[in-house]
Amino acid sequence: MLALPQAPTPPARRQLFVGTAVACSAGFTLIGGMMGLWLRMRHRALSVTDGTWVPKKISIPEVPSNIMLLSFIGIGVFAQWAVYAARRDDKRHVAIALGLTGLLGIAVINAQVAVYVHMALPIRSADGSAYGIMFYAATGTFIAFLIIGIVFSFVTAFRYLGGRTSEREIVTAHAIYWYFAAAAFTMLWFVVYVTK
């Protein structure tokens, strides 16, 4: 066996942080791809004579969708607050920040459900329109991301508050995840609720 020069133990390379960022890129392209196909189907539906995309009699409630977008500003601030507090070993503030992040995540799901209830959009369409299935598929996928984020918040809280305070990296990774969720929702909001 050939003997190479031995190295001292290297500093940690923030594996969780990098891994989360890479996974978030995958999530971003998933939502991006869905939005791309949304726009293509929308273009196809509108390019025929008298073509419609959003079914008639369906109104898209703008207040809850805008509130969802605004909620992500709060989520970003709270997630970063957790990072800030973790750097100062302030467990109480970390707990409050993570709790508020998770709570706002739940609030966003609640707002999405309110959109569903208000729209009363049938998933099956008599005229063969793709709008219903694409609306539920896209927003449903994003709800899955929100649930993952809320679980992430709780796992981060359990690990950090359970005494593993040296693992600040998970708090940073948690913040990265929510930034990704905010960016993905901004894209979804613009395509689904603004461009329609």
Partner 1 sequence: MTTIDTPPQTAPTTSGAGHALSSVAEWITTTDHKRLGRMLIGTGMIAMLGIAVVGGLLGFERIDAATISLNANSITQLFSIYRVGLALFAVLPVMLGLAVAVVPLQLGARSLAFARLAAAGFWAWFFGMDLVILSIIANGGPGGGTSKFVALFIAAFGVMLGGLTMIAISLATTVLTTRAPGMNMRRVPLFSWSVLVTALGLILMLPVAIGTVIYLYVSYRYNRVPFGGNQGILDYIGFSVTQPQTYLYALPAIGFAAEMFPLAARRRMPMRGFVLGALGLVGVAGITGVTQVQHVLPWVGSKLYLGHFGKKFGDLLDYGFFNALPVIGAVLVLLIGPLAFKGGRPKITAPLVFGVFGLGMILMGMLGGLLYGVLDLGLQGTVFEEGAYVYVCYGAILTTLGAVTYWGPKLWGRKLADKKLLPLALLGALATALASLPYYIAGFADQPANSVTFAYSGPQGLWNTLATVGHGLMVLTVAAFIGLALQGFRKGELAGDDPWDAHTLEWAMSSPAPDDNFAELHTVMSAEPLLDLKSSPDLTSSPELKSKRENA
Which residue of 49, 128, 162, 163 would you call a contact of partner 1, by CB under 8 A? 128
Three-class secondary structure of residue 122 per DSSP: coil
Which residue of 56, 88, 92, 124 would you call a contact of partner 1, by CB under 8 A? 124
Q: Could you tell me which residues come within 8 angstroms of residue 83 by beta carbon, excluding any fewer than 6 positions away?
A: 168, 171, 172, 175
In whole angstroms, give the CA distance from residue 195 to residue 69: 15
8 Å CB contact between 154 and 133: no
Q: Residue 16: how many CA atoms within 13 Å on its side-chain side? A: 12
Least separation in angstroms between residue 104's CB and partner 1 is: 25
| Residue 172 identity (one-letter amino acid) | T
Q: Encode burial over 26-40: b for 16+ CB neighbours within 10 A, e otherwise.
A: ebeeebeebbeebee
- Residues 48 to 107: which contact partner 1 by CB under 8 A? none
- Rule CB under 8 A: is residue 47 a binding residue for partner 1? no
Least separation in angstroms between residue 45's CB and partner 1 is: 9
Could you say which DSSP state residue 49 is in? T
- Residues 8 to 37: which contact partner 1 by CB under 8 A? 8-10, 12-15, 18-19, 22-23, 25-27, 29-34, 36-37
- Rule CB under 8 A: is residue 123 a binding residue for partner 1? yes
**Segment near partner 1 (CB under 8 A); pick from 59-67, 92-100, 103-111, 135-143:** 135-143
Least separation in angstroms between residue 106's CB and partner 1 is: 23
Least separation in angstroms between residue 25's CB and partner 1 is: 6
Between 67 and 143, CB nearer to partner 1: 143
In whole angstroms, give the CA distance from residue 78 to residue 158: 17
| Integer angstrom CA distances of residue 57 from 118, 120, 122, 123, 126 | 12, 10, 11, 14, 14
- Rule CB under 8 A: is residue 166 a binding residue for partner 1? no
- Rule CB under 8 A: is residue 148 a binding residue for partner 1? no
Q: Which residues bind partner 1 (CB under 8 A)?
A: 1-10, 12-15, 18-19, 22-23, 25-27, 29-34, 36-37, 41, 123-125, 128-130, 132-134, 136-137, 140-141
